[in-house]
Structure 1
């Protein structure tokens, strides 16, 4: 420390001395003097010091999950002496790479050094962390840099279920996710999940089928069960069926949404008549034991239960054009009679006979009449006892008008 005695120099000279000393890297500070004595100043020469210049915050922006993103941070020495970086420390999920430097790292005055930071986020909303810089900067020996990153929300990637439906006469359809195939009552539709795929390149390892919709009174099941890659569905009743398929990939991930195949059983006869029934004491639908109800369609020239003009199980295909396509004798039904070319000017009778209860008691019969593929009328849950005959309705042709009768006789009239 040097002392400069100025004595009684003019004020202007003193100011010049102060400014000159400051420009040369020293300070001139007045000493305490007694009153009336000459001024004396102490001269302080500046020591050379490093200065760290670094950001307060670094934002990595949007980061795709599972990918590593890099960001460069510049450390600059704005001082007059070498800047020594003793250490760089980051908190997870961030990382740091020196890019060619070892610790301690020396940055000369006026020079800078690029530090590469990285971040890798697997999931969540985002990430926050810190970069700690330890240096010989006397004013900032440990500098903290706040690090932030936001996770990019990607569309959900799921295994893709695909249903392929086929009938040898009706054609083919594909559901990805939705599809439709039109058939007819009593068609058997082949179903396949083999075209399902993993959009990420993996394998499909498991499937699950489900029938989520079928006509009222229907209770069909897939022939091979819910976990088979191929299946078959029997369209026993006219109406709509919807089959859904879910799949799993080799990472155990389930499809985000199912494939849905709509199967529509449309009667292709001009007149289609359907009988179903339920017997409360028949608790098992799929066994071989059940009540037996029979559907009848009568030509106006005939009588119930008499061949050749009554179409029923003993006369399934009379010459006048009616046809019984299925006769169920073990409960529930269905039984269907079709008439492809009804004669104009005729009225056809529709009836039901409770042939045998087999010890199961009363049953409830439902008849649906389709005209040109459309449900024209429905007669629901008529209670019947063994031996009774129910004259349901008469169908007039070609109008298709249906006259309800709904007479129940104690025996076959």
Structure 2
């Protein structure tokens, strides 16, 4: 925050020095009707005229639309932080803080007392604490008095043990098709995801306005669509320009999310003019080789591979050179949270977090500011090269950021028949405490299973690989909710690949803390996956 303050003060000083120079410049150049030669000394710092000057910037208080405490057990106490920020352009003066309902307010990050003023860009962190006397729904309101001219009393609703429909859109504001070929249909997607914890969320596309070149490519979304907690769907939007030029439109979406029932996503696109710079992608991995997308290409890789991406082969037919690049991850497997390492440099990279298909797109601009007519598209097919590949991922709706270092912990287990169904015990259970057990022929590594990642803070993945399984053997696959770390219920997905192909998928199994799920069995050498789908309060 200190850096922000110094930057703001330095900006004010720079504007003050600029104002002095501007006054001096006007005084020197304003010579109409003046004597050309004079011995009179001029004091540039003494104003010739006096007048009123008013800075019209205003303070603007901002914070979250609501604070969800999540599920709190009877007798349990949970705290969450909420940040209130001055996003305006003038000093924000804070008055009385009040809290309603069975919530407590404190300011441990500010020595117990909140600041009374916030410079532009500054924030104050309040801690909201709730102690559950029962598991009933609890509501409250945090209100802050300030000199914001539009919101003199700023309110944040507070909820604990509460649930209601919640819809997230990605992108939330605008879909940009960029440059599209004339006479062809370009596709983009709006991801609609339920951010509710338990309740279903419903939505529908009510209309598309603006240019006729935009269209909804799947009319099922004009009717009501229901999403279970954490589930998501892709709304396909088409853009079909017939002539060059710029086009604008909007998608209107209505949902039962009470805080934002009506959403508008703007649409933009351009019909291709003439010669455009041509993006080219080179994808490379030292073990898998390379592939070129000009404009299309494909490279087969293995889960957990790092793929280098290079845009240096891109060209401009007009000869002006490439001045800017933009990478985009257009598609990735369901439940993947991994993104591109760099979106604006000539080189980038992508980690193959999960098995499945990734599509990387590249747009380039030439020195004249003309964007590529269509992106280069590199398809990366992440296929396991093991006989058996087991993938575990999970979603915890109450965890606001599943990619940080705080989250729930679910573990994958692969059990050898010699264990006699005694889970969670070496040597016949492959899991986080026994990641590379010696199975099959003693001392031979090529027939041993291995757990490649033990993810302890949310979402996954965790993968177990087994090559050269033992014949006439049936393996057991399970998942254990080791700890919810106070984030509550998770929805667990297990996928089993046989010979690189998806053979079985069990999606979004609701699991609570320390429950065990016997998912399925794998028979070898047939490769048949037999569903079990049995949930226990702990290890059976």
Same fold (TM > 0.5):
yes
Give the CA RMSD over aligned residues: 1.3
| DSSP-derived class of the 1:181 partner | strand
Match of 1:337 in 2: 464
In the aligned structure 1, how far is the partner of 2:362 from the partner of 2:509? 37
Residue 486 of structure 2 is aligned to residue 380 of structure 1? no
Match of 1:308 in 2: 427
Match of 2:523 in 1: 396
Match of 1:217 in 2: 335
Give 1:121-270 correspondences, 5 Å limit: 156-224=274-342, 226-270=343-387
In the aligned structure 1, how far is the partner of 2:337 from the partner of 2:367? 33
2:438 counterpart (319, 332, 342): 319
Q: Calculate the TM-score normalised by the size of structure 2.
A: 0.47
| DSSP-derived class of the 2:275 partner | coil
The answer to whether the 8 Å contact 2:295/2:376 transfers is: yes
| DSSP-derived class of the 2:533 partner | strand
**What is the total number of aligned residue pairs between the two structures?**
260
Residue 488 of structure 2 is aligned to residue 369 of structure 1? no
Change (3 A) 1:331 1:155: closer
Residues 6-53 of structure 1: CA distance to partner in whole angstroms, max 9, x if unpaired? xxxxxxxxxxxxxxxxxxxxxxxxxxxxxxxxxxxxxxxxxxxxxxxx
| DSSP-derived class of the 1:159 partner | coil
In the aligned structure 2, how far is the partner of 1:210 from the partner of 1:200? 25
CA drift of 1:326 comes to: 1.1
Residues 248-305 of structure 1: CA distance to partner in whole angstroms, max 9, x if unpaired? 0000000011100000000100000000000010111221000000000000001210
CA drift of 1:228 comes to: 1.5
The answer to whether the 8 Å contact 2:337/2:403 transfers is: no
| DSSP-derived class of the 2:452 partner | strand
CA drift of 1:351 comes to: 0.1
Residues 114-167 of structure 1: CA distance to partner in whole angstroms, max 9, x if unpaired? xxxxxxxxxx9xxxxxxxxxxxxxxxxxxxxxxxxxxxxx99211010101000
Change (3 A) 1:155 1:279: closer
Residue 395 of structure 2 is aligned to residue 274 of structure 1? no
Return the structure number with greater helix share. Answer: 2
CA drift of 1:327 comes to: 1.2
The answer to whether the 8 Å contact 2:403/2:459 transfers is: no
In the aligned structure 2, how far is the partner of 1:240 from the partner of 1:221? 14
CA drift of 1:195 comes to: 1.2
Runs of 4 or more, structure 1, over 6 Å off, are none
1:290 counterpart (407, 416, 430): 407
CA drift of 1:402 comes to: 1.0
In the aligned structure 2, how far is the partner of 1:286 from the partner of 1:239? 20
Question: Highest Rg: 1 or 2?
Answer: 1
Return the structure number with greater strand share. Answer: 1
In the aligned structure 2, how far is the partner of 1:266 from the partner of 1:163? 21
| DSSP-derived class of the 1:198 partner | coil
1:346 counterpart (466, 473, 476): 473
Residues 191-233 of structure 1: CA distance to partner in whole angstroms, max 9, x if unpaired? 0111111111111000111111111111211112x11111110
In the aligned structure 1, how far is the partner of 2:402 from the partner of 2:361? 23
Residues 318-357 of structure 1: CA distance to partner in whole angstroms, max 9, x if unpaired? 0011100111111000000000011110000000000010
Which ranges in structure 1 are unaligned for 5 or more consecutive residues? 1-123, 125-153
Higher relative contact order (CA 8 A, sep 6+): 1
Q: Calculate the TM-score normalised by the size of structure 1.
A: 0.62
In the aligned structure 2, how far is the partner of 1:354 from the partner of 1:155? 55
In the aligned structure 1, how far is the partner of 2:499 from the partner of 2:470? 14
Residues 160-188 of structure 1: CA distance to partner in whole angstroms, max 9, x if unpaired? 10101000100011111001111000011
